[in-house]
Homo-oligomer: A and B are copies of this chain.
Amino acid sequence: MKNEYRTKARSLIIEYLKGHSGKRFTAKEIFDAVKDDENTVSRTTIYRNLERLCDQGNLVKFKEPNQDSWFYQYSDTYQHCNTHMHAQCAVCGRIFHLEDVFLDGFAKKMKLVYGFDMDPSKSLIIGQCESCRRKAGKKIRNVDVEQ
């Protein structure tokens, strides 16, 4: 078992991700965000820490259509991710954790009708969340007030 050290770089990354929990970022965005006039965290370190956080289960790593780079999203509740399904808002990128009970009926039907054994933890529902739908209604000249 490896001992884990608390370093400046790692703290900066985790702080940033935690501070924006629920939003998704590319490695590049995190690199830019963590850097300021005095300090910089190398890309290598960013990648290595992101990978570690994924392994530890605090980070979700996923792709979006037509995007070259991976997205990372911090989630305190991700520990349970191997057991349940997620929905992601196509607008703001937030990931929602769906209750298992909610899925039971669907999974059963999938099995019955298609003979398909679904793996909820790997499946992803895409759509628009409530708050983004509300915002969309308030859009002025097709420009977002905030993202």
Q: Mark A60-91, 1 if CB is under 8 A from B, else 0.
A: 01110110000000000000000000010110
Q: Name A111-125 residues within 8 Å CB distance of B.
A: 113-119, 122-125
Q: How many residues of chain A are within 8 Å of chain B by beta carbon?
A: 33
A109 contacts partner chain B, Cβ-Cβ < 8 Å: yes
A12 nearest CB across to chain B (Å) = 25
Q: Which of B89, B117, B130 contacts A128 (CB 8 A)?
A: B117
Which chain B residue has the least Cβ–Cβ distance from A106? B106
Copies assembled:
2
**What is the predominant secondary structure among interface residues of chain A facing chain B?**
mixed
Indicate if A20 sits at the interface (CB-CB under 8 A): no
- What is the minimal beta-carbon distance from A93 to any residue of chain B, in angstroms? 13
- For A90, give its contact among B113, B122, B125 (CB under 8 Å): B122
Residue among A89, A105, A116 facing the most chain B CB atoms (10 A cut-off)? A116
Which residues of the other chain, B, contact A124 by a CB distance below 8 angstroms?
Answer: 123-124, 126
- CA A119 to CA B129, docked complex, whole Å: 11
A113 contacts B122, CB within 8 Å? no
How many angstroms from the CA of A105 to the CA of B87 in the assembled complex?
16
Asked whether B110 lies within 8 Å of A118 as measured between CB atoms, the reply is: no
Complex formed: what's the CA distance from A105 to B110 in Å? 13
